[in-house]
Amino acid sequence: MNRIHSQTDWIARAREVLPAAGFGNFDAGIVIARGEGSHVWDEDSKQYIDYLIGSGPMLLGHGHPEVMEAVLEQLPKGMTFFANNARGIELAEAIVEAVPCCEQVRFVTSGGEADMYAIRLARAYTGKTKILKFEGGYHGMSAEAQMSLAPTRQLNFPTAVPDSAGIPQGVADEMLIAPFNDLDAVASLLAEHNDIAAIIAEPLQRIIPAQPGFLQGLRDLCDKHHVLLIFDEIVTGFRLAYGGAQERYGVTPDICTLGKIIGGGFPLAALGASTEIMAHFDKDIVGTEKWLMQLGTLSGNPIAAAAGLKTMEILRRPGQYDKLRALGQNLMDMQRAALNKAGIAHQICGDPTLFDLYFTPSAVSDYRSAKHRNPQDNVNWNASLRDQGIFKSPGKLYPSLSLSEADLERTGQAFNFAATRLAKHQEDAA
C-alpha cells in the first residue's frame, strides 16, 4: 500500500531535488494536490479559493467540463506531432479573427518564448538593434527581458540593470529603459537614438494601468520615428476583453504576444503581426539573411490547441466579460471597504479582471511609485488571507468565471479578517 504523504513530507523531498525547494514560480511552502472550479487543495487537504489560477490561464476555473471534454476527445488521436495539425490551424484562425494586430501568428510553448521572438522579429524587420522597455515591465526570462524588471538600484534612465546573473554586458548595451506612463521620456529617447527597433510594453504593466493617452501616445511616437510597437498581451490577451488590451483600449500595436488563456491551461503561446512582418518566418519570401529561425517541440500541439479553442469559444458567449468584470469589481469593492473600515492607507491598482493593492497613501503610476510604505504590511496581509483559505500571489489577484456567491462571501470575510489583523500589527509596531 502506498503511504500517504503530508505536505511537510513533500516539501522535505522537494528540498533534496529542487533548487530553493521549488519550481521557481511560487511559494515553495505549499504543494497543490488538485484543483476543481474555483478551488484548489493542498497535500494536507486544506481547501482554498483560488485567485492565482495558475498565474492567469484558468479563466474558466479548473477542470471546466467542456474544456475537459475537448481535451479527452483529442487525447486518443495524438498528443503532439512536431507537424501541422488541424486544431492548431483552427486556433490560429480564431486568434487572427479576434486580435486586431494579427494577420498571422506563430506558435511557441511559453510566453517568455513569445516575447523573445517578438523582440528578435522586430530587429529582423527593422534592421535596427536597440529595444526600449519600461522599468518594472515583465516580458519573460530572456536576457533582454531580464533588464530592469525589479532593479534594487535606481540608476538614471535609460541605463539597463540586469536582474539576473549570467547576462553579458552587451545585452544591457542594446536595451534602453524608460519610466512607464512617461511619454516625454519616451519621446526624448526616440529623438536621441535612431537605432531603436521597437518599444515593448505591457498595456497593463503588472497591475499598473496606463494613464489616459499613454498607449496612443506610444503608437503615435512609434509611427513618427518608424519604430515598431510590441504589446506583451501574455496576461491581458483574452482577459481584459476578448480581443485583449488592443480591443479594450483601442490601440493597435505592430506585434503582440499571447499566452496563458489561449492554451486553456496547457503549454502554448503565440506571437502575431501583419503578414508583412511575419514574412520573416518564411525563408522563401525574405531569403536566408532576413529569415528568423523558430521551432519548438510542442509548438501548436493539438492538446493545448483543443483546450484553447474551447476556452475561447466559451469566452465568446454573451455576458462572459460582463460577468468577469462584475466579479472583479465586487472583489475590489470588498477589499477597499475592509481596508477603509480598518483605517489602512492603500491604493487598489489594475483592472477588475486583474488587480491588487499597494499599502501606500500615494498614487501609483510606475515602477518606482509602486511600493508599499512598509513591505511587511503586504507580507502580513497575504499571510492572513492564506490563513483564511485565500490562495493568491503576493502581488496579483486574478478573478475567474468559476467564482460563486459563496466564494465571494467567504472572500469578503477573509478581507475583513486580514484588515483587522493588519491594523493590529500596525498599532503594535507604532
173 within a domain of the structure (yes/no): yes
pLDDT confidence tier of residue 3, bands split at 50, 70 and 90: low
20 within a domain of the structure (yes/no): no
How many structural domains compose the chain?
A: 2
> Do 416 and 274 share a structural domain?
no
> Do 382 and 247 share a structural domain?
no
> Do 334 and 273 share a structural domain?
no
> Do 300 and 197 share a structural domain?
yes
Per-residue burial over 215-241, b = 16 or more CB atoms within 10 Å of its CB, e = otherwise: bebbbebbeebebbbbbbbbbbbbbbb
What is the set of active-site residues?
A: 138, 232, 260
Percent of the chain with pLDDT over 90: 97
Report yes or no: 121 and 280 within 8 Å, Cβ to Cβ: yes
Task: Kindly report the CATH number assigned to the domain that includes residue 361.
Answer: 3.90.1150.10
> Do 228 and 137 share a structural domain?
yes
98 within a domain of the structure (yes/no): yes
Question: Quick one: average pLDDT of 124-146?
Answer: 97
Question: Quick one: average pLDDT of 330-355?
Answer: 98
> Do 394 and 309 share a structural domain?
no
pLDDT tens figures, 85-122: 999 999 999 999 999 999 999 999 999 999 999 999 99
225 within a domain of the structure (yes/no): yes
DSSP string covering 348-373: EEEETTEEEEES-SS---STTT---S
Length of the chain: 430
48 within a domain of the structure (yes/no): no
pLDDT tens figures, 36-76: 999 999 999 999 999 999 999 999 999 999 999 999 999 99
Domain that holds residue 381: 320-429
Task: Kindly report the CATH number assigned to the domain that includes residue 130.
Answer: 3.40.640.10
> Do 399 and 293 share a structural domain?
no
Helix (H) / strand (E) containing 223: helix 214-225
Which residue, 262, 288, 315, sits at the end of a domain? 315
pLDDT the model gives residue 430: 77
> Do 155 and 96 share a structural domain?
yes
Question: Quick one: average pLDDT of 133-161?
Answer: 94
Average pLDDT score, the chain:
96
201 strand-pairing partners? 231
Number of H helices, E strands in the chain: 14, 15
13 within a domain of the structure (yes/no): no
Of 1-15, 23-37, 230-244, where does mean pLDDT reach its minimum? Answer: 1-15
Residue 5 has pLDDT above 90, yes or no: no
* pTM for the full predicted model: 0.96
Question: Quick one: average pLDDT of 355-360?
Answer: 98
Report yes or no: 423 and 344 within 8 Å, Cβ to Cβ: yes
Percent of the chain with pLDDT over 70: 99
Neighbouring C-beta atoms of residue 149, cutoff 10 Å: 20
5 within a domain of the structure (yes/no): no
Residue 152 has pLDDT above 90, yes or no: no
> Do 298 and 201 share a structural domain?
yes
Neighbouring C-beta atoms of residue 317, cutoff 10 Å: 9
pLDDT tens figures, 235-269: 999 999 999 999 999 999 999 999 999 999 999 99
pLDDT the model gives residue 128: 98
Q: Which of 370, 326, 327 is nearest to 346 (CA)?
A: 370
Which residue, 315, 330, 361, sits at the end of a domain? 315
54 within a domain of the structure (yes/no): no
What is the rounded distance in angstroms from the CA atom of residue 148 to the CA atom of residue 139? Answer: 11
> Do 325 and 272 share a structural domain?
no
> Do 297 and 391 share a structural domain?
no
pLDDT the model gives residue 2: 58
Residue 1 has pLDDT above 60, yes or no: no
Q: Is 176 helix (H, G, I), strand (E, B) or coil?
A: strand
pLDDT tens figures, 211-228: 999 999 999 999 999 999
> Do 339 and 205 share a structural domain?
no
Residue 37: phi and psi, rounded to 5, are 60, -125
Which residue, 275, 293, 315, sits at the end of a domain? 315
